[in-house]
A and B are shown apart, each in its own frame.
Chain A
């Protein structure tokens, strides 16, 4: 084994898992799909005292429909998001974006909860959850609390969960009718240099409502280009409107320089790709809406 020595626990309930986490007082890590945790341990960059394996907690693997809301357990795998009809019907953005994550092996193991707790600023899943207005439920020794996505991260790879808390569910409101996504990567399914996800609804007059634009890879965390979205409220997404909104998007970003790209280049790319994604959004066909469980 390449990882350093650690204790291993496999609880069968959420309560038991939280008890283990509490006992180690920050020394334990939760393992779900292990797609980020295990490599870090193998490279000996992380040396947790214990792993709390939540794969035996069946209730974390459930998908529930609750009116307009769709609730995904933390253990729902990327590959399930990719292929389950309920996701394609109710959260088509997730079904689409998940194909940009890793490769098939990664998607067979990786989980939505793991991805959100990992908090990779280039990650597709945190970006999608942010744009979709998701809220996560976490359980700790003091009970349950809900954290809206904009409050989930302090900075890169730093979720605001306490060390003894377990992310159990992700709650999605009704999905928007339209979406468009693009991602700039050095390689196929590599970490994003820049990613842009836009969603919105179009009313009977062709006016766009609640356009939300999320950007990945250009800040410590995925960010919403709120100014751009606001500028498009009620617009017809004309070329001019899109161009103006795209220029506003740079207000939301503070891009890093790394081995993949400089901050300057990322700053250059953001308005270009926001413009391209909004143009793509405008061209998407109208879906049947609103999405409800009984239409499945």
Chain B
């Protein structure tokens, strides 16, 4: 390994991409304007479940400005079906998912017909002229009722609403004991049912797609997290040769998993563009987005924890019902399965069983949302750890301490079969307790309880871990995931010594351009500003697996590091040739090759770049290039962890919850840019607090989405959130040279149980042991009345 000075890594650089992103003076998909471009509008189902008996687009086609109008029936043979890349079991029920509904609609908002016009307004106006007749079918919404004998069916031809049942049993897997015995003989068994409400990812930039058919080439601009996966799947679905499809994800305004999808709208735009031979654009409205972009969470979690009276956990059994919605999206079935490895969390648990059943309902399909399975798992285990603490009469921190993996026990193979790489739960927790002023707040809590204060104080604890760096390809294969988990990076040394980096990750707000530049600046000894990071266009970045699952730095960052080493290795014989010395005598520091013992005599990487450009005098047999590609397939996940603490005041008269103090101490391994990390933690905590207190996608009994606008889907604003006290401890990832682990989802995973634990803790004297999320003032008030919530 080359030894270099570390100047950029660890520095809180302001993000180089922010000026254009914040001002919006950049290329979003919606800004793409092409000669002759047409605009597409989509008529969506107003009903949750119905047979389509008749569609007539002829009147729409007659309207001014309208170029084409068609229904699912019109394109049934050519539109293809939407993919699910994660068939979690061999016998998983996987219904057809046409981009445009053909015979039946299965959720409100499902695309039914399309108008293409010369302006967006004309296309929208013409939707009103499309006639559709629906014959109502029974609506399936309740997960348990959906599984009962004789239940109405979402997909009648499948004969069941069950998509799959996936089981992990530590007794069978050989990673632990059988859980039944543990539960039967337990001194303490705590059984709870938690509900993960449905959430809407609510990215800032609505989804948008432009498809341009020029000659036999299709260029697709899309506000997507996954340009590479989209290219592969569009090619596979439409039968277009892969080299004839180019996908561009220009700047993308957020995703949170919500743009980890191959969408009906992308394929509909492709079909329309192909049909007309002209470029076509579709940009969704926020109302369309809330009802049709995939939703997240929505699970019922039955959890049983067995323990001894001293608080030691002896077994854990988890049974999930996961709402798939009406169809399976790209990784819908796998989202709850990602959680399977996280219910055991940071604890040494001898016996574990996890069972998840995916259920179809007449709702928008669910899929990845920030954390994807891990927030749900962390919520359930961290909530029930507090219940265990109460049951055995221990402080919630102490009950965790008695069960967690100690710092000297890493690497530690868990009951779920994963090997945690590194960590120090005690260190992070100790720091968090200090920052919160835990003991003082406990004293205040006791005083308020004693005096019968109408405002009670609660303290919520969440000691989380998560798996980042999706993922070792071999592990993904064993889970039946449809792709690998490697990532690529390329370095192109320009003749003047400037550097172009091509990454296979696809940032949509994360700051890769900045962090990647910092890594390259250190490894190649070039200036931060001399690095340009290219991404998201399959013409420049032809290979990659994109951005989700906190994988970009943990996997793509290592590929980048390795590519840098290759550049240095290529430059070394060239520098040696110029310096007329043996390459073995050279060392590379601060961007300079120097002869050991002769620090004044050196050649920079830029000198080498110019030398290969001229190629006048290179050593024999040396290829005139410094460019290098690297592909990195991780050997393991990385496992960040941390302790989040929330102190909340609860007005027992009104149910109003006010977070008084929030402390987040995260251990995410080595840090490239602390400012970006801070942003990720703040944003993540905001989304986790939002699940705890604010957000809820609500359907009425007929399957109408009641929270279909931001008026009713109560996304909080900064004014509703709190100052977050952050700090870090550092346990470097041991499996790779950067030592980084991943931080994209940590805040979301940790914060939800911290907040709910605080509220429940405040109301313990009122007999409260749970409150359904979101903990609205009304629910909290009802709970405080002893009425349950």
Contacts and interface: CB of A to CB of B under 8 A. Distances in A.
Interface stretch (A1-9, A65-73, A160-168, A213-221): A1-9
A52 to B, nearest CB: 21
Contact of A189 (B654, B706, B719, B777): B719
A230 to B, nearest CB: 26
Given A2-B124, A261-B778, A187 B717 contact: yes
Contacts of B96: none
Interface stretch (B225-233, B610-618, B708-716): B708-716
Interface string B692-713: 0010001000000011010110
Contacts of A186: 694, 714, 776-777
Given A4-B125, A265-B781, A272-B654, A259 B698 contact: yes
Given A1-B121, A5-B125, A186-B714, A268 B776 contact: no
A184 B120 CA distance: 40
Residue of B120, B654, B711, B715 most packed against chain A (CB within 10 A): B654
A269 interface: yes
A62 interface: no
- Chain A's interface size range is 20 to 34
A5 B63 CA distance: 13
Interface in A254-275: 259-262, 265, 268-269, 272-273
B779 to A, nearest CB: 9
A187 B716 contact: yes
Contacts of B719: 187-189
Interface in A36-85: 42-44
B603 to A, nearest CB: 57
A43 to B, nearest CB: 6
B720 A187 contact: yes
A273 B778 CA distance: 15
Contact of A190 (B287, B706, B714): B714
B285 interface: yes
A261 to B, nearest CB: 5
A184 B777 CA distance: 10
Interface string A178-202: 0000001011111101000000000
Interface in B701-742: 706-707, 709, 711-712, 714-717, 719-720
A293 B285 CA distance: 49
B776 A259 contact: no
B654 A187 contact: no
A262 B694 CA distance: 16
Given A2-B124, A4-B125, A188 B717 contact: yes
B694 A43 contact: no
Nearest to A275: B653
Contact of A262 (B653, B706, B720, B778): B778
Contacts of A190: 714
B121 A265 contact: no
A268 to B, nearest CB: 7
B651 to A, nearest CB: 9
A1 B120 CA distance: 7
B286 to A, nearest CB: 10
A190 B776 CA distance: 14
Nearest to B714: A186
Contacts of B656: 184
Contacts of A4: 124-125
A27 B82 CA distance: 44
A267 B382 CA distance: 35
A224 to B, nearest CB: 23
A182 to B, nearest CB: 11
Contacts of B717: 187-188
Interface in A263-296: 265, 268-269, 272-273
Given A186-B714, A186-B776, A188-B720, A268 B694 contact: no
Interface in B108-125: 120-121, 124-125
Given A43-B287, A186-B776, A259 B712 contact: yes
A269 B777 CA distance: 11
Contacts of B781: 265, 268
A186 B777 CA distance: 8
Contact of B714 (A1, A2, A187, A262): A187
A38 to B, nearest CB: 14
B368 to A, nearest CB: 26
B711 A269 contact: no
B478 to A, nearest CB: 44
A226 B2 CA distance: 82
A262 B776 CA distance: 11
Contact of B654 (A42, A184, A188, A262): A184
A261 B654 CA distance: 12
A53 to B, nearest CB: 19
Residue of A184, A190, A265 most packed against chain B (CB within 10 A): A265
Given A187-B714, A188-B720, A265 B778 contact: yes
Interface in B631-655: 653-654
Closest 8 CB pairs of A and B: A188-B719, A265-B778, A1-B121, A186-B714, A259-B712, A187-B720, A188-B720, A261-B778
Given A184-B777, A259-B706, A272-B653, 10 more contacts: A2-B121, A4-B124, A5-B121, A5-B125, A186-B777, A188-B716, A189-B719, A190-B714, A268-B781, A273-B654
16 contacts: A2-B124, A4-B124, A43-B287, A184-B777, A186-B714, A186-B776, A187-B694, A187-B714, A189-B719, A190-B714, A259-B698, A261-B777, A261-B778, A262-B778, A265-B777, A265-B778
